[in-house]
Structure 1
């Protein structure tokens, strides 16, 4: 089959070079091609290169065959059609070429010494970066079991030797188009991934990661509305910040505030809290929405303790920059609120509405510098052991009933 393919291929190329003019040579070539077709039991139609042409975008073709005449014949055929062709004499050489270049179509012989075509095909289709590359098997073997085996292994097509050049061009055109579609889809997918990372990184500066994920991954993520959630609410701010800001230059105020908010944000996110918003020097955070966990109240308490502990480093940095030391008060309260997208179709935010939000704000008004006050409702939800003291009953504005709070000291060992 290899010999017949080489003779027929060179004969047809000579026919094309000579054109349609009838000479003794062209007549001999025609009889030679007919004889080869007869020897091949008529399994291939007498179609020459000049009889029909398949228009195709130029592609990067890898021809793999251990016989030099077959590689040369394929390279000549395809180069005349505008393709860039590289050849490989073995399976190992073919894999090296695939590792170094973006190949559009592989033309693969099956019978080769060493690594045969079936093994090359298997490795191509198992490789994450190569598996989309179309592989056209060209073989003298015409048994149906072998053809089925190659197709099941991932071959995109199977041609017999001696191959019909026009049919080969059609197969290559289809392979190049499939590869182009795959490449465009891959570029589009990568662009989507880059866009999503940008969106997550950008919106992550304004919303918690959980809220961004909820918006991006759920179709209803942007719909207005909410549901009832039991959450632990945290409110924190710097004591006397308004007075401090009046004595400092604007740049100093911003520097001190950003240092404080940056450190607090990292701590809250490390404890899986959702930052609702910054109100000047105040921080409003919630534990339990959009994702609810069994230890929401405990994480809120540990977060508050970590925030107060971090104030020593913040104040050390303030002193080094000639800025005043600051103290914060933190309030914790647990209750049921409406959590969801609040606002209008043009502008909305993920927020929280309900009586417990107001109660938390009132508790925070009673916090001294360096103090953590937690409501009785939060204390009842804690699973961990904590030292608390100074039980108080607060009469707060806008709330008829007294609010019972406790001063949080530390985690019990």
Structure 2
């Protein structure tokens, strides 16, 4: 009993024979290896779940089918996969049967105690090395995945990143060069007065302001689970409903745009106090079908959205005045269909450059109260 209590290594004996237990106790007597538990073959999993062993000794006096079943269970279980499995029998007749079942070593009841301990300790040492290596490899894999996750979250919202990384189908959509036709709410946010600003300030100051600008708009985009597709000069291209579909993408885009206008107004006031520059933000929104996928060459690809829906949103963004959000009748129709009222004000129809027919446009005046949108980001 004292050997078991002070043992460094715990042994699980799989046997129904007390005589086998007696033999094993003799072989382990006064060593740093003790018998922690003895169970019937059908109790192995329950025992391992209670407490993981360092060594498993299997009584191989059973028939071949039973041996293979027990060994298979132990080798398939992640907890015991790397735990040494030693076969123990009354005679060497069971030797081949034991190795065919999958044991790591085989010994008989007549083995000298010194030899038994040397061979078992060798297995324990090898097992410890394999487990350490496996733990290091797992830690590296976890680190690598976290680095990928962290990098991915710099481009899309953390929640969308987790959804995509957990979905092979979504990963294929984004990385395998496939193209997908999908319904998207497209937003263009353009800074007004950027040219004058860049002429008055030195390049370092311009970069600092652009970083503040894009940081603000990106954080709001991610709050409403949008995807940033492009930061070009002083404008931002955002999509809602891609790569993960969002039935309420139109509402998200409107609420996000409203918040962008309000927060940028505060930022613009700070810039004016700091540098004496006048800036503003104009936003255009459209909804419709786009093609989403990777565009480019084998050496460099860019996941983006293209189509007339994007072009119209871009024109509306260019048309919007500082502090104004313009959106198309397609957005208004979708909001009406969903029973959402954002306090939209109709404006005269507009013929956009490159289009022969006018489109209806609307705005949400920034001077009014909060839009009546029953929406909160998840």
Instruction: Give the C-alpha shift of residue 284 in structure 1.
Output: 0.2
Instruction: Give the C-alpha shift of residue 309 in structure 1.
Output: 1.7
CA deviation string 1:189-222 (max 9, x = no partner): 2101111211232343345554686478637342
1:134 alignment counterpart: 54
1:190 alignment counterpart: 139
1:62 alignment counterpart: 9
CA deviation string 1:201-251 (max 9, x = no partner): 234334555468647863734222301111000000111211221111222
Distance 1:390 1:381, change over 3 A: closer
Question: Is the 1:136–1:159 Cα contact (8 Å) retained in structure 2?
Answer: no
Distance, in Å, in 2 between the alignment partners of 1:345 and 1:208 is: 26
CA deviation string 1:53-75 (max 9, x = no partner): xxxxxxx95378xxxx9799554
Distance 1:212 1:223, change over 3 A: farther
Distance, in Å, in 1 between the alignment partners of 2:46 and 2:180 is: 52
Residue segments in structure 2 that go unaligned for 5+ positions in a row? 12-24, 75-79, 90-108, 374-378
The partner residue of 1:386 within 320, 342, 355 is 342
Distance 1:63 1:307, change over 3 A: closer
Q: How does 1:281-360 map to 2 (within 5 A)?
A: 281-319=234-272, 321-322=274-275, 324-360=277-313
Residue segments in structure 1 that go unaligned for 5+ positions in a row? 6-59, 76-86, 88-106, 111-115
Distance, in Å, in 2 between the alignment partners of 1:204 and 1:225 is: 21
Instruction: Give the C-alpha shift of residue 179 in structure 1.
Output: 3.6
Is the radius of gyration larger for structure 1 or structure 2?
1
SS, match of residue 344 in structure 2: strand
Instruction: Give the C-alpha shift of residue 407 in structure 1.
Output: 0.7
SS, match of residue 173 in structure 1: helix
SS, match of residue 412 in structure 1: coil
CA deviation string 1:148-184 (max 9, x = no partner): 9x99897844769886432443344334333432332
Distance, in Å, in 2 between the alignment partners of 1:157 and 1:263 is: 63
Instruction: Give the C-alpha shift of residue 344 in structure 1.
Output: 1.6
Question: Is the 1:300–1:332 Cα contact (8 Å) retained in structure 2?
Answer: yes
Task: Supply the RMSD in Å over aligned alpha carbons.
Answer: 3.8
**TM superposition score normalised by structure 1:** 0.64
Question: Is the 2:9–2:54 Cα contact (8 Å) retained in structure 1?
Answer: no
Instruction: Give the C-alpha shift of residue 288 in structure 1.
Output: 0.9
Question: Is the 2:193–2:278 Cα contact (8 Å) retained in structure 1?
Answer: no
Question: Is the 1:373–1:405 Cα contact (8 Å) retained in structure 2?
Answer: yes
Instruction: Give the C-alpha shift of residue 355 in structure 1.
Output: 1.0
Instruction: Give the C-alpha shift of residue 364 in structure 1.
Output: 1.2
Distance, in Å, in 2 between the alignment partners of 1:178 and 1:234 is: 57
**TM superposition score normalised by structure 2:** 0.69
Distance, in Å, in 2 between the alignment partners of 1:196 and 1:397 is: 46
Instruction: Give the C-alpha shift of residue 108 in structure 1.
Output: 2.6
Distance, in Å, in 2 between the alignment partners of 1:199 and 1:277 is: 20
Instruction: Give the C-alpha shift of residue 390 in structure 1.
Output: 3.5
